[in-house]
Each structure stands twice: as structure tokens, then as C-alpha cells.
Amino acid sequence: MNALLLFAHGSRDPAWYGAMHALRDRAQAAMPNTWVACAYLELGEPSLPDAVVQAMDQGAQRIHVLPVFFGQGRHVREDLPALVAQLRNQHPGLALEILTPVGDDPGVQAAIVTQALHSW
């Protein structure tokens, strides 16, 4: 089985998580044969290492990590690859891949422009 982990920073504000949970639910509906969950760098649970273990407990042998970040800051360039390298060392039989951050995807960028135009 495959898993998709929607990886974000996290927040102290509980209201912030509503959008992440909605994204998770939409992804799960679109990919019924994939286990989909959220994971957070800090300020939220589960952490990426905990979410990886949860995915493995669900039978995932291949895990895709989708960075839900709009810019390629330090967290995406340095922190996430370091975390994934540690996880690969801890779970050598697990296929663990980092996907393109959402902010770099042309479709996401187009959707943001469309939203702006409709909100104008």
C-alpha cells in the first residue's frame, strides 16, 4: 500500500488545522487506495517520524511526503530532507519520497490566481 503524508509547519492556533484536515479529506477521497494523513514539522501532531510509523502500521511500503509550503525556505530545503534521510536510515526497506512543494506546482499557482480573480 502507498501512503501520502501532507507535511506542513504546524501552528499554535487550533483553527489553522481546519484547512489541513480539509486537504487531507479531499486527498483521501481522490485516492481511496492510499492512506492519507497530515504530519507537522513542529507545533502540531503527529510529527513526520510518528506519521511514518503510523503509515507503516497501516501497511504502507511506499510513502510520499507532500510539502504543503508555498516557498522553498529552510524547512523545505534543509529540515525536511534531513528528516527524510534519518527516516530512511531507521527504516531501510521503506520507499520514502519527497514530492514537489505545493507552492512550486503550476496548477496550484493557477488555482491561486483563479481564486484571486473570483474574489476580486
Instruction: Cite the active site residues.
Output: 9
Distances (CA, A) of 89 to 20, 61, 64, 92, 102: 28, 15, 16, 6, 26
Type of residue numbered 22: A
Query: 98 burial class (0-12, 13-18, 19+ CB within 10 angstroms)?
Result: middle
Q: Which three cell numbers stand for residue 116?
A: 484571486
Residue 71 in contact with residue 16, Cβ under 8 Å?
Answer: no
